[in-house]
Chains A and B, each alone.
Chain A
Amino acid sequence: MVSQKRHYSGKLIAVEGLDGSGKSTQIYLVKRWLELEGYRVFFTEWNSSILVRKSTMKGKKRQLLTPTTFSLIHATDFADRYERQILPLLRAGHIVLADRYIFTALARDAVRGVDREWVTELYNFAVHPDITFYFRVPLEISLNRILEGRPALKYHEAGLDMGWSTDPYESFRIFQGKVFAEYEAMREQFGFTCVDATEEIHVQQAKVRQTIREHIDLPAYRRRLCP
């Protein structure tokens, strides 16, 4: 890590899972809950610097990226958001919510053939979340949720750069299957809290809130100022 890991008083909650696992819906509901209860919560919006964003977009559009540079440009982008936003918020004592975190990158890069240890070490400047919810859903269900009403898949999103198949849908299927296997392999290593993403939304949310209450001393995060 370039910057030293410093002590921070905030809490970091991340959601991970396949596209179509419903994780964004769940983290949004967590945000609403904590806001309405009057806690210092911040949902990271993933606004990276213009410069980094420009390069990433250019690389994707012109298909210049190879597995290593794909990995590095995303790590750059993450570092930028991490150092400018996530870490300062944690240091200032917020509950920070992240829709996807380093595990997305670890899974995706491993699928692209990048050395697992190399990329894990690459991201080791980032603190690990206090809770990582893993929304686990059978591959077929997530594929159906995503592919329904979604006519076009993007080049990298479908994993077309890997040459597994020239058909975007078939390629996406293969790609997601491999990402699923990576998530499964990371579950224990990183202590994910598993949520059955086939259950009803409010049932999942109740379990998520319960876990948060158990792990985080919420009263310590009450807003200090009256709105």
Chain B
Amino acid sequence: MPLKDRLFLGRRLPEVRDPRFSGKLFVIEGADGSGRSTQIAQLTKWLEANGYAVRHMGLRRSNLVSEELEQAKQGNILTHTTLSLFYATDFFDQLVHEIVPALRAGLIVLADRYIYTLIARNLVRGANRAWTYNLYSPAIMPDAVFYFRVGAKQLVERNFQKNSTLDYWESGMDLGLSRDMFDSFVAYQRLLQTEFQRMQKENGFEIINANLKVETIQRELRKKIGAMLNLSQ
């Protein structure tokens, strides 16, 4: 894993004066319905059973703007630049107020999605690559990123099982790829996957085949995370 050769992705975060952390940051990336939350719940149980304190982070969970972001999702009222800056505000608010103190205190932070989802969403909406990477460049570099890969067709099935409908945003309906929600969903998820594949090469993500059984995936995650913590499964 070529990750973690530096603390920040690019530029430094002005709020962090001393860049020495004793905690670890593990990121799970993947589409809705790829099984992220199930795996995170089981990982948490396992880590806590072994005496590790765990903290969670995700998207749209900041004190500062999560409520307003949720409302913005309900009505498509913000333009793309505004929305991506709003998401970045949400992200950095959590990073500064929760993640940095947790890492400093030696906790294990499990992130249910991180900057990579936000970057991919921007890029498939036609955002400038340099602008988008600059935006997130003061983010803390994770110790490992696990990307859950699921075929677009399987994703559809899982989404229907979970919600019985397709989500407007997860279908990328705002992009106007197709007026048919199913077509749009499949096209949008493929675009995101292409971006993730590109990022995987650049950033050295661990690819997890999320079509496998829950237990098989969990075993693999524990093996990899355990090795980084010198912890047996």
Contact = CB atoms under 8 A, between A and B. Distances in A.
B63 A84 contact: no
B71 interface: yes
Given A58-B64, A79-B82, A117-B11, A51 B77 contact: yes
Contacts of B89: 55, 69, 72-73, 76
Q: Which of B84, B92, B137 counts the most A-chain CB atoms under 10 A from its CB?
A: B92
Contact of B13 (A1, A58, A68): A68
B71 to A, nearest CB: 6
Contacts of B97: 64, 66
Shortest beta-carbon contacts, A-B, top 6: A2-B81, A76-B85, A83-B79, A113-B14, A72-B89, A121-B134
What bracket does the count of chain A residues touching chain B fall in?
35 or more
Nearest to B122: A2
A4 B79 CA distance: 13
A3 interface: yes
B101 to A, nearest CB: 12
A9 interface: no
Interface in B79-103: 79-82, 84-86, 88-89, 92-93, 96-97
Given A52-B82, A73-B89, A1 B131 contact: yes
17 contacts: A1-B128, A3-B79, A3-B81, A49-B78, A51-B78, A52-B68, A55-B68, A58-B64, A69-B93, A72-B88, A73-B65, A76-B85, A115-B12, A118-B11, A121-B130, A122-B131, A125-B131
Contacts of A67: 14-15
B50 to A, nearest CB: 33
B125 interface: yes
Contacts of A68: 13-15, 92, 96, 138
Given A66-B15, A125-B131, 4 more contacts: A4-B126, A68-B15, A76-B89, A115-B11
A58 B69 CA distance: 14
Contact of B64 (A3, A59, A114, A115): A59
A69 B64 contact: yes
B85 A55 contact: no
A54 interface: yes
B173 to A, nearest CB: 18
A49 B81 CA distance: 14
Contacts of A83: 79-82
Nearest to A83: B79
Contacts of A124: 131
B28 to A, nearest CB: 24
B127 interface: yes
Contacts of B93: 64, 69
A51 B138 contact: no
A64 B88 contact: no
B96 A66 contact: yes
Contacts of A3: 79-81, 126
A121 B79 contact: no
A3 B131 CA distance: 11
B85 A72 contact: yes
Interface in B128-151: 128, 130-132, 134-135, 137-138
B126 to A, nearest CB: 7
A87 to B, nearest CB: 10
Contacts of B14: 67-68, 112-115
B64 A2 contact: no
A213 to B, nearest CB: 33
Contacts of B12: 115
Contact of B134 (A59, A66, A122): A122
A51 B71 CA distance: 8
Contact of B80 (A2, A72, A73, A112): A2
B228 interface: no
B72 interface: yes
A80 B86 CA distance: 10
Interface in B11-45: 11-15
Contact of A2 (B11, B92, B128): B128
B15 A125 contact: no
Nearest to A48: B82
Contacts of A121: 130-131, 134
